[in-house]
Amino acid sequence: MKQFLKFLFRSILFIFILVNIVVAFNAYKFTHFYDPTEVVKKPNSEKSTWDKTKEILFGINAVKKINQAADTNFQTIYLTTKDGIKLSAWYIPVENAKGTVALFHGHGGNKTDVLPEAAEFRKLGYNTLLTDFRAHGNSGGNTCTIGYKEAEDVKLLYDYLKNKGEKNIVLWGISLGAATITKAINDYDLLPQKIILEMPFGDLLSAAEGRIKMMHLPAEPLSALLTFWGGAEHGFWAFGMKPYEYAKKISCPVLLQWGRHDPRVTETEIQKIYANIPTQKKLVVYENSGHQSLCINEHLKWVNEITSFLQ
């Protein structure tokens, strides 16, 4: 019996260590993006069984999405973070602007992804400022901290607009971009005139759960391990990354939007964020959308809601 218990303990310990190693590798790959020239990808049809096994065990090297030039006149600006990372952004002005909307994309995306939303804001009379988060698009670095350090990126764009003399700053973000806006508000006491948040995750643990579920794997304990390693590898306590708590520091009107069929962000997360917003607020649910561009998928409704909110 004693030998059996020793064997059982060692087996459990071995499995625990192995699972942690696998999750740690995957957390690293999830938070790193590389230039296309640095990554060699085989088509699925050419992958061997060992290639597929390595991807499961050690994760997949993610490639930075290449930006497609905007179909309008724009000015490329560069801003530098305190640790020397150069951020790339597009400033697109309009005549007789009512203000400026700064737009922030989702995880793995880039500023090209939010061009449709930016075009609609310009139709409404607003300048637009689109950026690539660090490790994304044309910005420097290859490490993404899922909003923790990216909050500084939001602050840099906000300060850029303030220094230009802009009085009416609107912050818009989708997914990671939305969650990061809340952290920037919390960390830097930003005072935009209005905020539009689309499908922000409630906390980093919930974001990990959403990702694990998308992979059709058991959320527990993998989501907790992914959260722990994702933070530990980058020097922060990831369980403390809570946009629903950061929402308490918002001091301007907020439009919060979410798709009913979102497989990543739950209604519970959205309701927690909404409940903690202490100012004038509105929650809009898009019945025919998931975790995607609401502007594209339910265009007319999105335009109507945005127009009403900005009036």
Nearest to 118 by CA among 71, 84, 154, 161: 71
Residue 224 lies in a domain: no
CATH of the domain at 303: 3.40.50.1820
From 58, 79, 103, the end of a domain falls on: 58
Residue 170 lies in a domain: yes
For 190-217, the pLDDT digits (tens) are: 999 999 999 999 999 999 988 887 777 7
End-to-end CA separation in angstroms for the chain = 75
- Degrees, nearest 5: CA angle 162-274-170: 20
Q: Among 35-49, 69-83, 205-219, whose mean pLDDT is lowest? A: 35-49
Rounded-to-10 torsion of CA 270, 206, 134, 214: -100
Q: How far apart, in whole angstroms, are the C-alpha atoms of residue 72 and residue 127?
A: 12
Provide the b/e sequence for 207-229 (b: ≥16 CB within 10 Å): bbbbbbbeeeeebeebbbbbbbb
Residue 144 lies in a domain: yes
For 298-307, the pLDDT digits (tens) are: 999 999 999 9
Average pLDDT (139-157) is: 97
51 and 192, same structural domain?
no
Rounded-to-10 torsion of CA 177, 241, 142, 48: -100
Residue 277 lies in a domain: yes
106 neighbors 172 (Cβ within 8 angstroms):
no
Per-residue pLDDT at 42 exceeds 70? no
74 and 31, same structural domain?
no
Q: How far apart, in whole angstroms, are the C-alpha atoms of residue 118 and residue 125?
A: 11
Q: Among 52-66, 151-165, 218-232, 282-296, whose mean pLDDT is lowest? A: 52-66
Whether the model pTM is above 0.85:
yes
Q: How far apart, in whole angstroms, are the C-alpha atoms of residue 220 and residue 250?
A: 32
Which residue range is the domain that position 109 belongs to?
69-203+241-310
Residue 294 lies in a domain: yes
136 and 37, same structural domain?
no
Residue 82 lies in a domain: yes
27 and 77, same structural domain?
no
286 and 198, same structural domain?
yes
Q: Bigger pLDDT: 108 or 38? A: 108
Residue 231 lies in a domain: no
Residue 215 lies in a domain: no
Rounded to the nearest angstrom, the gap between the alpha carbon of residue 54 and the centroid of all alpha carbons in its chain is 26
Specify the pLDDT at position 152: 98
303 and 155, same structural domain?
yes
219 neighbors 205 (Cβ within 8 angstroms):
no
152 neighbors 124 (Cβ within 8 angstroms):
no
Strands 126-131 and 86-92, by their bridges, are: antiparallel
Record the tokens describing residue 244, joined without a space: 């629903």
Strands 281-286 and 169-174, by their bridges, are: unpaired
Per-residue pLDDT at 145 exceeds 70? yes
78 and 45, same structural domain?
no
Query: How many domains, in total, are found in the chain?
Result: 2
272 and 171, same structural domain?
yes
257 and 154, same structural domain?
yes
247 and 110, same structural domain?
yes
121 and 265, same structural domain?
yes
For 97-131, the pLDDT digits (tens) are: 999 999 999 999 999 999 999 999 999 999 999 99
113 and 34, same structural domain?
no
Residue type, 150: E
Residue type, 8: L
- Please name the helix (run of DSSP H) or strand (run of DSSP E) that holds residue 77, with its range, or none: strand 75-80
